[in-house]
Amino acid sequence: NFFSNSTIQRQSKLRTDENWIQEKMTDNKTRYVLMNRNEIVVIPTNKRHLTLLNVNYEMIEKYLPANNRNFVFLGEQDKQCIFAVHLEKLVLAEIVKLHQEARVIHAFPGALKLRQDEASLYSHAVGMLSWQRSQRFCSVCGNATVIKDAGYKLTCSNHKCSTHKGAVSASYPRVDPTIISAVISPDQSRTVLARQPRFPPGMFSCIAGFVEPGESVEACCVREVEEEVGLRVHDVSYLSSQFWPMPASLMLGCLATADGELSVDSAELEDGRWFTREEVVDMMCGRHAGGLFVPPVQAIAHQLLQTWV
Ligand SMILES: NC(=O)c1ccc[n+]([C@@H]2O[C@H](COP(=O)([O-])OP(=O)(O)OC[C@H]3O[C@@H](n4cnc5c(N)ncnc54)[C@H](O)[C@@H]3O)[C@@H](O)[C@H]2O)c1
């Protein structure tokens, strides 16, 4: 699935080798992916496609943050190391000026125009860098955290902090498991799609929700479908997963059969309906008579519906 098809070798065992990381960081063959929160630096390849700007160490040396903050080693591809770095907006603007066709764009929907492998680099980077930004201080004593393992571990800078003695001695990157399900009628002829108020007008999607502690994927699917559209799910089968960089959901794609009376939770959803297979095909192809549509091909919601139709 899109955002989850990286072709890099993550080389996780080398993250603890500080000398190797330092050497690769400053090697001019190394490539840097630049971002600022939800923005990325790209070069248009044609009207519909973008590529990430390639920058080497020399080009960004003076902008690199102190103490390796906002910085992560993504991995190696064709013997070239790839790092990602979060830079201030003004810095990105300055770098862009040096590259004729480069521009800073909003990652959504911009990242949907990247090649699959670059979209996966972006999702890896945004998941890591947003986690680092959210963990600047120790949750036990409030002192600043220190980055370790090429960006993959944070420890407390206060050596007297109890985290240095306890089992939970460090903070690791966070991934939020989330179910997303195509909910199908028992006769297989219809599926339920719903829309949240924040969706673009006309867009309907599959039922989704975060897994809670103590829940299996199946139990979460049963609960979310019941909560959101009032239907009882009989069986759930897992299809595939997608890392969704908003900022770090792991979408667990399921198919489920459900019956009962549709009852939409109006606190969370603006609308929810049964759609026939034919309607869904029209929505996927952008030719629905009422102008309704489903998420784009890059979203696992689209892939689940594709499997069902
Ligand atoms: N890739 C796809 O096809 C696709 C389709 C639908 C939804 N999604 C993603 O699935 C996720 C969940 O969808 P949703 O519609 O329920 O989202 P949502 O963002 O509307 O969240 C629903 C509720 O869950 C709680 N919540 C928010 N963040 C949480 C977290 N990290 N952990 C636990 N609870 C949290 C909040 O109370 C929030 O109101 C979102 O990230 C959304 O972007 C992806």
Quick one: which atom of ligand 1 is closest to the CA of 295? 3
Extended strands (E) in the chain: 31-36, 39-44, 50-52, 71-77, 80-86, 103-106, 145-148, 153-156, 176-184, 190-195, 207-210, 232-244, 249-259, 271-276
> Across the chain, what does the average pLDDT equal?
95
155 and 185 part of one domain: no
Domain at 235, CATH number: 3.90.79.10
Is any ligand 1 atom within 6 A of the Cβ of residue 301?
Answer: yes
Is any ligand 1 atom within 6 A of the Cβ of residue 178?
Answer: yes
161 and 55 part of one domain: no
The answer as to whether 6 is a domain residue is no
Is any ligand 1 atom within 6 A of the Cβ of residue 251?
Answer: yes
Is any ligand 1 atom within 6 A of the Cβ of residue 226?
Answer: no
The answer as to whether 62 is a domain residue is yes
- 300 CA to centre of ligand 1 in angstroms: 14
116 and 161 part of one domain: no
206 and 265 part of one domain: yes
Pocket test of ligand 1: the residue of 38, 131, 210, 249 to mutate, having most ligand atoms within 8 Å of its CB, is: 210
> pTM of the predicted model, to two decimals?
0.94
- 35 CA to centre of ligand 1 in angstroms: 23
180 and 170 part of one domain: no
187 and 300 part of one domain: yes
121 and 219 part of one domain: no
Q: What are the tokens at 218?
A: 């199946």
Quick one: which atom of ligand 1 is closest to the CA of 302? 3
- 209 CA to centre of ligand 1 in angstroms: 5
167 and 183 part of one domain: no
Query: Which residue lies with its CA nearest to atom 15 of ligand 1?
Result: 208
Alpha carbons 264 and 272: distance in angstroms, whole number:
6
The answer as to whether 61 is a domain residue is yes
Is any ligand 1 atom within 6 A of the Cβ of residue 128?
Answer: no
pLDDT digits (tens, 9 = 90+) for 85-107: 999 999 999 999 999 899 999 99
193 and 268 part of one domain: yes
The answer as to whether 283 is a domain residue is yes
- 208 CA to centre of ligand 1 in angstroms: 7
pLDDT digits (tens, 9 = 90+) for 19-45: 999 999 999 999 999 999 989 999 999
| Domain final residue pick, 174, 200, 232 | 174
Domain at 129, CATH number: 3.90.79
pLDDT class of 165 with cuts at 50, 70, 90 = confident
The answer as to whether 158 is a domain residue is yes
The answer as to whether 50 is a domain residue is yes
pLDDT of residue 233: 95
115 and 233 part of one domain: no
Say whether pLDDT at 141 is over 70: yes
Q: Into how many domains does the chain fold?
A: 3
Query: Which residue lies with its CA nearest to atom 25 of ligand 1?
Result: 210
Q: What are the tokens at 241?
A: 């997963």
What percent of the chain clears pLDDT 90, i.e. is strictly above it? Answer: 88
The answer as to whether 46 is a domain residue is yes
Is any ligand 1 atom within 6 A of the Cβ of residue 215?
Answer: no
- 186 CA to centre of ligand 1 in angstroms: 27
| Domain final residue pick, 121, 146, 174 | 174
Element (H, E) at 306: helix 300-308
Helices vs. strands in the chain: H and E counts, helices first: 8, 14
Range of the domain at 231: 176-308
120 and 20 part of one domain: yes
The answer as to whether 7 is a domain residue is no
Beta bridge partners of 254: 181, 238
ipTM score assigned to the predicted complex: 0.92
- 166 CA to centre of ligand 1 in angstroms: 32
